[in-house]
Structure formats: structure tokens, C-alpha cells
Amino acid sequence: MFAQTTPLKLDSAHDLHAALFNAMTDGVLVVNRQGLIIDCNPAFHRRLGYRKDELTGRSVTTLDPPEFAAQVPRRLAEIEQQGQATFETAHYRKDGSVMPVELNARSFQVGSELVFFSVVRDISERKEMETRLHEGIETYEAAVNTTTLGFWMVDMDGCFLEVNAAYLKLSGYSRDEFLRLRIPDIEALEQPAETARHIAQIIRDGSDRFRSEHRRQDGSRWPVEVVTSFSRVQGGRFFVFIEDISERVVQEHRLQLAARVFDTMDQAVVVTDASNRIVSINPAAVRITGYTFDEVRGKDPSIFASGRHDRAFYDAMWASLHASRHWEGEIWDRRKDGTLYAKWLGINAIHDSQGALYQYVSVFSDITERKKTEELVWRQANFDALTGLPNRHLFYERLEQEIKKAGRTRQGIAVLFIDLDRFKEVNDSLGHAKGDALLAQAAGRIGAKVRESDTVARLGGDEFTVVLPNFGDRANLERIARELIMTLAEPYELGDDDRGYISASIGITLFPDDADNLDGLLKHADQAMYVAKAEGRNRFGYFTATMQREAREKAALAKDLRQALGRGELEVYYQPIVDMTDEVIVKAEALLRWYHPERGLVSPMVFIPLAEELGLIHEIGQWVFGQALAAVARWRDMHDRIIQVSVNRSPIQFEKPNQPCCTDELRRFDLPGHSITVEITEGSLLSQSKHIEQQLLEFRNAGIEVSIDDFGTGFSALSYLRRFDIDYLKIDRSFISDLAEDDANTALTEAIIVMAHKLGIQTIAEGVETERQRDLLRQFGCDYAQGYLYAPALQMDAFEQLLGAA
Ligand code: C2E
Ligand code: MG
Ligand code: MG
């Protein structure tokens, strides 16, 4: 076959062998038993860089690096023994470099000599490949095992074939555990179907980079970024690098949050660079300033300035920013539309880590509304809503200022205390709305009579004050007071054809003559006003020394009154009330007396108002009530009948709810409710106190009757009589005393009696002193009478004598 394809013309077998020997691409080496080179072919010596003659006769050991040279005798023996052997060794080239070779050696008997015939193959390339492969694997393993990234190798089925230490550490799995798992076991975000689709896509694209979440061994999830590539080696492999991005996700969230806060916060934020050019503003800033970001980008924030603040203001701001890196304060700026607004601004100078100025961050909010509210609150705290005048608070402040000023300038101040006369009646009859309208008009009239520099204030209710600094002389002051009285007495148009008629009483006090302090001035002006009222209203009066003395006396009396009850100085007198048909005593009015240890008998007209003022009336009233019940019980036991006792009840007593229950008292004496009548004034009914209705109901439920005292002197609103279920009207003494002389009063008295009867209410005439009065009253059909004609208020035993005599 060989002869056919390569027709060589050779003479002998020897020639053939020699030709083959020389043409072989593998080296051939022949050595004898001593290891001496007998022969070699060109492929051998050329590859080593020798000529043939340089090698023949040499020991092969001279060709080998020492570690191989040492093996030569053992190798030869091995070949001799086994007939052939294949092994790797190396030869030096002539240039000293080493050529790795694979030797396939056989031993032959040539004549008497044993020769070794080796085919020598240059394996440098293979060796290099091997080394490189080896190194490659090492590098790969080093990379995979030293990286902090997780690494897997995964097969086409998603089974893990390899995992590195980093991933095991991150996921908490042991290596054995993990290599039993597949991707769907640790993928926490994708559904298995999604994962399958994803894998298919990676196979198509060759690689992918994506975010997901993995499940740790303990079940917790962690965010990862995955870089994977696909290779078709070994039937398909995925090489996957996994990065733990927990930190990054937290950072990202933080940034997102910061961005969201920036975008959604109510407060405006303007950021400028080191040269104070705007680099960023948030939506709140856009909203407040009216500028868009594009309109202010790169501009100086002075674009927002209103021009309201001077150079010094901004200089101070910058000085603070430089010194403390911060400034905070209120500032007026102008919106794009030109409107002014107040803002509370905080500026921080931000420095980088090297301490160089980096940015200014300004944060502000629009406080215009708040300032308006503050202003409103201030107005509400200092001004009277109804009249727009300064209120008590501001009045005190102004008066205090004037006193200080006057102390310096040695000028006088007049304080006028104005109280409208009978204002309450206008209020009660026309309603609060019209009462308010009247007050507002009165305030206007007072203001019109004084100078700008004078203070007019409303202290509350129908009380006004005027402070007149440098009022000039007395004549001028009195002219003002008279004008005030005149103007306030003019009719008030209150709408719906309603007119209000009132007058005013004015008390005047002077600084520093009457008092040198605020409290003293006010107290004295008040006292002077009361005196003006007592002297007939519609007038003014100065504070006097007498007033001061009286005020002092009142204070002393008040002190004594506090102790009167405890000291047994109070006593209840009883004034009989007779049935007009037969003049038999059927009732009595309990009237209180105070025996003062030094002053003697003090009139209830004096001490009852004082007790009301001091709040003692509750205790005293309760005591009188108990005394009255005791008297009724006593007389019942003596005469076997009920003599009903009227007990006066002050309007003040209705103001205090939750008083001791009257039914308990009645039960204590085993008395029926009608043993007592409670006398109340019309004023009590009109007071509109929520307590009065409830307490009157309580009386009625207990069977206690109710009388209207001094009927006709107040504002007699008939509707109230029906509403409150009144039992008796006590016609005031002023009507009775005028009977006969005054036709109008006579007619009124008769009308009251008729009207009362129509409403099912009985009448009691007070202060009946003459027989003529009695006869007229009887003629009008009055039911009961009380007065000196029968008896004055009597001490218990005197009253009882009268009872016994009847
Ligand atoms: P009032 O309830 O209108 O009592 C009638 C007053 O007229 C009594 O004066 C009585 O003494 C007097 N009076 C009776 N008949 C005549 C008469 O024929 N002619 C004249 N000129 N006067 C007569 P008094 O006792 O000085 O009491 C004065 C006021 O003091 C009482 O007026 C009543 O409002 C009040 N008061 C008396 N005691 C009490 C009490 O215990 N509690 C309360 N809250 N007020 C009382
Ligand atoms: Mg009375
Ligand atoms: Mg009376």
C-alpha cells in the first residue's frame, strides 16, 4: 500500500530503513546499554539544535535535566525488563532551554548488543497547554473563592453544580444542603414559571444582569443583583455571580425618601451653590414664591426679595451665616405676582468634608396667615369685638403707660368711669341683639367726644372708661363729662322702629390727687360713678373724701358680716300677712335683722346687697330657710295649722346650682311643701340663668310656692309669669302708698290684680299702712295684705303673741 502511493526506488531494506529513519517527524534516538547515544535522526538532533556528530557517543544523561538524568539507569532497566516503556522526560536544547518530551522506548538485541530505540515526541505544546489549563483552573478557583460576590454554576435544569463560600456565607446554607437545591428553591421574587421563562431568555441572549431577591436558609429574604452568562459547554452551563445589594437598597430607599420629602414637604427648600446661585427648589418653594424652577435656576435668591428690608438687615444675615453657618428669622419677600408674604426662613451654610463652603440650604414656610391669625388673636385679646374699643386688658396697659408718662411730665390724668343707666332693661326688653347695637352706638358717641390721644375702652357690659391725659382745667373736664351725658341720653335707633332710651352716670377720678396708681384710680372712679347713680343717675360726680370714707366703712362692715352668722348676730323677724276677707293672719314674711355689736341694728337694705357681693348670701339664705321651717313647725304645733312663711331669695342664690335639697329640710320638720313661699324678684326670672328654671321646677315638685316680690318696679313681663308657674304677685309698696292720690297708680293696681286672677295667680299687697288703702284693695279683690296697718316685722315671741291674740 505504501509502495503504491509513494513509489520509492530503493536498493535494499537497509536503504528503506535509513530513508524512514531520516524522514520521520518524530525524533528517534538509539542508545546502548551504557546510555551512550549510538544514533539519532535529524528530527531529534535538529529539534535540540545539534548536529548529529555533536550527539553521537554522548551519554543521554548529559542531555537531561538533573532530575531526569538520575532516572536514566532505572528507566533503561525497566525497558530491558518489559521490552518497552512510555514515559515523559525532558532534554536540554543546545541553547540550554528545556524541551519536554514523551519517550516511547523499546529494547532490541542487535547481535550481542542490547540497544534502546526511542521515539521522542516534543510535548512542549501539550505541556504548556497543561500548565496553562492548570493555572487557569487555579485562577478561576481563586477568583470564585476569594470574591465577596456569590457564585454558582447551574445546569440546564436549574440544579446547582457549584457554589462558592461567599454565597454560602450570605445565604446561610451549608455546601451540601445547597447543592441539593434548584433555583426555584432560593428565588424569592419570581414564580417558578417566570424563572423558567427567564432562563430561556438567558439561553437565547447568552447573558443577563438583573435584580431579584433570594431566600436565605432561615427563610428571610435578601435583595441581590445577578450577573449570569450561559455557555454551551458540557451540555449547557450557567455561570452566575450574585451580589448582596441590601446596603445599596437601603441607600436607594434613603435617597428616594429624601427626594420624596423634598418634593412633598410643606416647607419650601431653596438650594444655592457656593456663589449663591440657585441650583434647586422644591415644589413647595414653587407654590409659595410663584416662580418655576426654570425661572430661578442660576439666579441669586435676591430675586425673591421684597425691598422691605434694608441693607443692614441682609448684612446681619450674612454675618451670622459666616460666623455660625446659620441664620433664622422672619423675612418679608415678594411673590412673582408682586404680592408680599411673610416667611420664617432658616438658612444653613453647608460645608464639605474639607471644610470648604459647598451649598446654602434655605428652608422656609409662608407665615402670612399665621401672622394674620396672631394679629387677630392680639386684637381679640386687646379689643372688644362688639364696639371695637380697647378692652379691659388694653385699657389697663394704656392707663399704666399714661401714669408713667404723667409721672415724668407732672401732668394730671382724669379717669372717667361711665355706666349706662338701666341698660339691662333695654337688653331684657328688646333683646340682646338690640342691646348690642345700642352699646356699639354708645361707644361711637363716646369716641366722638374725645381726642385721638384719649383712650376710650369698654370694660364689659355697659361699663366704659375714658382716660384723658392733659385734660386741661376742671371746666374743660366737666364740659366733656356733660357732653358725654348729653350725647348718651339721645335716643338710639335700633332698627324695626325700636328706639332705646337710656342715660349714663359718670364717676370721675384724678391722678395724682385722688390716687397715684391704677387700682386706686379705677376703684375711686367706680365709687364716684355709684354715687352718681345713687344720686339719681344721668349725672357725673367726682370722687370725694366722703366716698373714700364710705368705701372704707363698707370694707369694715363686710369684715364684720362674715362673722355675723357665726356670732349669732342675725335674727329672723316675721311680718304677718292677712287674708283680706277676714283679716286673719294666714302667712308671714321672714325678714332678716342684723344686730351689729357697735352699730346696732343694720338694715337688710344695707347688708343684704353686701352679703350678695361677698357671696355670703348662700349661707345666710340657707340659714333663713331653716329658721322659717322651724317657725312653721313650731306654730303648727301651737295652733294646729300651717302659717305659710315667705322667704326672700336673692337672684344671686340662683346662680349657684346643687344647693342642699329643700325637700330634705321639709322632711326633717315633717312639713308639707306649701309651708314655704319663695319670694323672688322679676330680675331673677329675666336673668335667663339656666339654673333658675331647674330650681323653680324643684320647688314646685316639692310643693313649695313661688311669689314675685316688688311686682311692678322692674320690667314686668307677663309671659314669664305663665311660663314659670307663679303662685303670688306681691304688689310693690310704691303702688300701694300712692293709692287714692294717684289715679294712674290706682288703675294700675286694679289692673294688676285683675290680670293676676286671670292668670290664676293670687295677689298680696305690700306696705299697706292705711285703712283707705286696705278698703280700695279689698274693693279691687286683692287676696292678701301685709303692712304696718297690721304689724311691722316682729320678733318671734311678739309675732306669737299676735297669733295667740287673734
Ligand atoms: P321686701 O322683701 O320687699 O320686704 C318688705 C320690706 O318692706 C321689709 O323691709 C319690710 O319691713 C318693709 N315693710 C313692710 N310693711 C311696710 C309698710 O307698711 N310700710 C313700709 N314703709 N315698709 C314696710 P326690710 O325688712 O327692711 O327688708 C328690706 C328688704 O331686704 C326686703 O324687701 C328684702 O328684699 C330684703 N331682705 C330682708 N330679709 C331678707 C332675707 O332673709 N333674704 C333676702 N335675700 N333678702 C331679704
Ligand atoms: Mg320680700
Ligand atoms: Mg317687697
Q: Please give the CATH number for the structural domain made up of 265-372.
A: 3.30.450.20
Nearest to 799 by CA among 591, 582, 597: 591
pTM for this model (two decimals):
0.47
Nearest to 500 by CA among 563, 438, 413: 438
683 lines ligand 1 (CB under 6 A): no
172 lines ligand 1 (CB under 6 A): no
Nearest CA to ligand 1 atom 20: 767
Count of CB atoms situated within 10 Å of the CB of 697: 12
Place of cell 391722678: 511
Q: Report the amino acid identity of residue 407.
A: G
Q: Report the amino acid identity of residue 217.
A: Q
788 lines ligand 1 (CB under 6 A): yes
The residue to mutate among 601, 648, 736, having the most atoms of ligand 1 within 8 angstroms of its beta carbon, is 648
Place of cell 333695654: 426
787 lines ligand 1 (CB under 6 A): yes
What's the 591 CA to ligand 1 centre distance in angstroms? 6
Is residue 100 within 8 Å of 127, Cβ to Cβ? Answer: yes
Nearest CA to ligand 1 atom 34: 648
What cell numbers appear for 270 in the block?
431653596
Mean pLDDT per 10-residue interval, the chain, length 806 residues: 44 68 85 90 91 91 90 89 88 92 88 87 84 81 83 91 92 94 91 90 91 94 92 88 90 86 88 92 93 94 90 92 91 92 91 87 90 88 92 93 86 92 86 92 94 91 93 88 94 89 93 89 91 86 79 88 94 97 96 94 93 92 95 95 95 76 86 94 74 85 93 75 87 89 84 93 96 95 97 96 85
What's the 657 CA to ligand 1 centre distance in angstroms? 25
Is residue 715 within 8 Å of 682, Cβ to Cβ? Answer: yes
For the CA of 611, the closest atom of ligand 1 is: 44
187 lines ligand 1 (CB under 6 A): no
For the CA of 766, the closest atom of ligand 1 is: 15
Same fold for the domain at 145-249 and the one at 383-543? no
What's the 285 CA to ligand 1 centre distance in angstroms? 76
Is residue 469 within 8 Å of 410, Cβ to Cβ? Answer: no
Instruction: Tell me what pLDDT residue 257 has.
Output: 85
777 lines ligand 1 (CB under 6 A): no
For the CA of 768, the closest atom of ligand 1 is: 18
604 lines ligand 1 (CB under 6 A): yes
What's the 731 CA to ligand 2 centre distance in angstroms? 10
Ligand nearest to the CA of 787: 1
575 lines ligand 1 (CB under 6 A): yes
What's the 713 CA to ligand 3 centre distance in angstroms? 10
Domain 383-543 = CATH 3.90.480.20: no
Nearest CA to ligand 1 atom 33: 648
Nearest CA to ligand 1 atom 46: 648
What's the 765 CA to ligand 3 centre distance in angstroms? 9
Nearest to 531 by CA among 521, 518, 543: 543
Q: Report the amino acid identity of residue 237.
A: R
Describe the crossing of helices 545-564 and 604-614 by its angle, rounded to 10 degrees: 80
Instruction: Tell me what pLDDT residue 689 has.
Output: 61
What's the 682 CA to ligand 3 centre distance in angstroms? 11
What's the 734 CA to ligand 3 centre distance in angstroms? 10
What's the 590 CA to ligand 3 centre distance in angstroms? 11
What cell numbers appear for 187 in the block?
428565588
Instruction: Tell me what pLDDT residue 716 has.
Output: 65
Instruction: Tell me what pLDDT residue 135 has.
Output: 84
591 lines ligand 1 (CB under 6 A): yes
Nearest CA to ligand 1 atom 43: 648
Return the H-helix or E-strand segment holding 680: strand 676-681
What's the 10 CA to ligand 1 centre distance in angstroms? 175
What's the 131 CA to ligand 3 centre distance in angstroms? 132
680 lines ligand 1 (CB under 6 A): no
For every residue of 262-328, DSSP letters joined together read HHH-SSEEEEEETT--EEEE-HHHHHHH---HHHHTTS-GGGGB-S-S-HHHHHHHHHHHHHHSEEE
**H-state helical runs in 325-409:** 368-382, 392-409
What's the 610 CA to ligand 3 centre distance in angstroms? 18
428 lines ligand 1 (CB under 6 A): no
Ligand nearest to the CA of 653: 1
Place of cell 354715687: 531
Residue 769: C-alpha distances to residues 214, 697, 736 (Å): 111, 35, 9
What residues have a C-beta under 5 A from ligand 2, the ion? 648, 679, 709
**Is-cis flag, bond preceding 65, omega within 30?**
no
What's the 787 CA to ligand 3 centre distance in angstroms? 11
Is residue 217 within 8 Å of 171, Cβ to Cβ? Answer: yes
User: What's the per-residue H, E or C state across 439-460?
Assistant: HHHHHHHHHHCCCCCCEEEEEE
228 lines ligand 1 (CB under 6 A): no
Q: Report the amino acid identity of residue 497.
A: D
Nearest CA to ligand 1 atom 22: 767
What's the 621 CA to ligand 1 centre distance in angstroms? 14
For the CA of 649, the closest atom of ligand 1 is: 44
764 lines ligand 1 (CB under 6 A): no
The residue to mutate among 561, 589, 591, having the most atoms of ligand 1 within 8 angstroms of its beta carbon, is 591
Q: Determine the straight-line distance between the first and last CA of the chain, rounded to whole angstroms.
A: 180
Nearest CA to ligand 1 atom 35: 604
3-state secondary structure of 50: coil
Place of cell 463652603: 357
Residue 684: C-alpha distances to residues 430, 649, 676, 717, 786 (Å): 17, 9, 18, 12, 22
For the CA of 730, the closest atom of ligand 1 is: 3
707 lines ligand 1 (CB under 6 A): no
Instruction: Give CATH superfamily name and number for 575-591+613-805.
Output: EAL domain (3.20.20.450)
What's the 679 CA to ligand 2 centre distance in angstroms? 6
736 lines ligand 1 (CB under 6 A): no
709 lines ligand 1 (CB under 6 A): yes
For the CA of 591, the closest atom of ligand 1 is: 38
648 lines ligand 1 (CB under 6 A): yes
User: Class of 13-124 per CATH?
Assistant: alpha beta
Instruction: Tell me what pLDDT residue 4 has.
Output: 41
Nearest to 187 by CA among 165, 229, 164, 154: 154
What's the 661 CA to ligand 2 centre distance in angstroms? 22
Nearest to 454 by CA among 481, 475, 435: 481
Is residue 454 within 8 Å of 469, Cβ to Cβ? Answer: yes
Instruction: Give CATH superfamily name and number for 145-249.
Output: PAS domain (3.30.450.20)
660, with CB counted inside 10 A (0-12, 13-18, 19+), is exposed
Nearest to 122 by CA among 143, 97, 144, 140: 97
Domain ranges of the chain: 13-124, 145-249, 265-372, 383-543, 575-591+613-805
